[in-house]
């Protein structure tokens, strides 16, 4: 566990997402959950060693399964973007089966069994919409949930202005391929530029996956997204709108480290991102013609 300030703690050692705990007089505000039930219980135990305060809120920085499955073992009122509520509302047995199969084949059979038998999703009970923000605590530490888009429609940042800290979710990841299948890369690049702006308050950026880093470290994701947009645009132009994600994928798969048993999944993730960007660029071109 890393202590970012007297009130803010981050754990990067769990499988799936980086998670946070913000200690306030009204209770603990958690940011995202561990994927595995045992990790979620461990995280709760770690928090109880920091404070006697209960967990008051649990913020989902988006609706990806890695960061929302642990609510039942943590507690707290779930908070998220309204798009995350819509996404999670559609989750059912299909998601459960996907998670169980993934964990069964990737070294976590006990977690797969527990999720298969006992999973209860914590749907957001408090939501925020685009164009607004939600402040959960107005004294130190000030905690605001802000919709930002980019990685997906439900992406939010958890901003702590008086602490100089932002939980940026999957808009910034360290040493792993970004999840892009629901992205708007144009907005995403704008948000990354905002993080690097000297006028932005945060000097500690907590990514959705990986360890805390500096503003300048967001440049790696910016370069990745920019290169993808450029190469997708070039292919669409040269082939008059026809697109082949498989052909371009090899240009990007090795841009981030990949565990030995994850190459197939990484290729699928990159291809899904390329296909999404192709759709995005086609839509941009259509809007310009109107």
Average pLDDT of the segment spanning 23-34: 96
What share of the chain has pLDDT > 90, as a percent?
66
> Torsion angle, CA of 131/176/9/7, rounded to 10 degrees?
-30
Q: What is the pLDDT of residue 119?
A: 83
pLDDT at 262 over 80: no
Over the chain, what is the mean pLDDT?
91
**pLDDT exceeds cutoff 80 at 174:** no
pLDDT recorded at residue 102: 81
pLDDT in tens, 72-129: 999 999 999 999 999 999 887 788 888 888 888 778 889 888 888 888 889 999 999 9
Instruction: Kindly tell me if the per-residue pLDDT of 163 is higher than 90.
Output: yes
Give yes or no for residue 65 having a pLDDT over 90. Answer: no
pLDDT value at residue 265: 82
| Distance from C-alpha of 283 to C-alpha of 263, rounded to nearest angstrom | 30
State how far the Cα of 28 lies from the Cα of 137, in Å rounded to an integer.
11
pLDDT at residue 270, as a whole number:
92
Residues with Cβ < 8 Å from 198, sequence gap 6 or more?
none
User: Between 50 and 209, whose confidence is greater?
Assistant: 50
CB proximity list for 142: less than 8 A, separation 6 or greater: 135, 160, 161, 162, 163
Intra-chain end-to-end CA distance of the chain, in Å: 52
- Residue, of 258 and 37, whose pLDDT is higher: 37
Confidence of residue 198 (pLDDT cuts 50, 70, 90): very high
Residue 181 CB: number of other CB atoms within 10 A?
15
Rounded Cα distance, 130 and 268, in Å: 30
Q: Averaged over 194-216, what is the pLDDT? A: 89
| Other Cβ atoms within 10 Å of 99 Cβ, number | 21
d(CA 14, CA 80): 21
Task: Please tell me the predicted confidence (pLDDT) of residue 259.
Answer: 75
Asked if the model's pLDDT at residue 176 lies above 90, the reply is no
């Amino acid at each position: 566990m890393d202590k970012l300030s007297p009130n803010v703690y981050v754990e990067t050692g769990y499988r799936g997402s980086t998670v946070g705990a913000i200690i306030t007089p009204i209770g603990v505000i958690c940011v995202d959950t561990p994927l595995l039930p045992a990790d979620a219980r461990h995280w709760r135990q770690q928090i109880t060693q920091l404070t006697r305060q209960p967990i008051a809120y649990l913020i989902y920085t988006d609706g990806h399964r890695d960061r929302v499955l642990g609510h039942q073992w943590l507690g707290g009122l779930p908070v998220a973007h309204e798009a995350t509520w819509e996404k999670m509302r559609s989750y059912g047995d299909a998601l459960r089966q996907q998670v169980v199969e993934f964990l069964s084949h990737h070294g976590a059979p006990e977690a797969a069994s527990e999720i298969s038998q006992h999973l209860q999703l914590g749907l957001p009970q408090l939501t925020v919409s685009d164009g607004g923000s939600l402040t959960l605590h107005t004294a130190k530490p000030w905690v605001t949930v802000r919709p930002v888009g980019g990685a997906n429609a439900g992406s939010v940042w958890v901003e702590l202005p008086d602490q100089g800290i932002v939980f940026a979710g999957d808009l910034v990841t360290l040493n792993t391929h970004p999840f892009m299948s629901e992205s708007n890369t144009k907005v995403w690049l704008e948000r990354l530029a905002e993080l690097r702006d000297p006028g932005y308050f945060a000097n500690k950026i907590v990514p959705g996956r990986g360890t805390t880093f500096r503003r300048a470290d967001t440049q790696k994701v910016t370069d990745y997204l920019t290169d993808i947009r450029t190469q997708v645009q070039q292919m669409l132009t040269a082939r008059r709108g026809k697109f082949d994600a498989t052909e371009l994928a090899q240009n990007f798969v090795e841009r981030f480290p990949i565990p030995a048993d994850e190459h197939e999944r990484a290729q699928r993730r990159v291809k899904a991102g390329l296909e999404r960007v192709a759709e995005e660029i086609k839509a941009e071109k259509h809007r310009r013609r109107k």
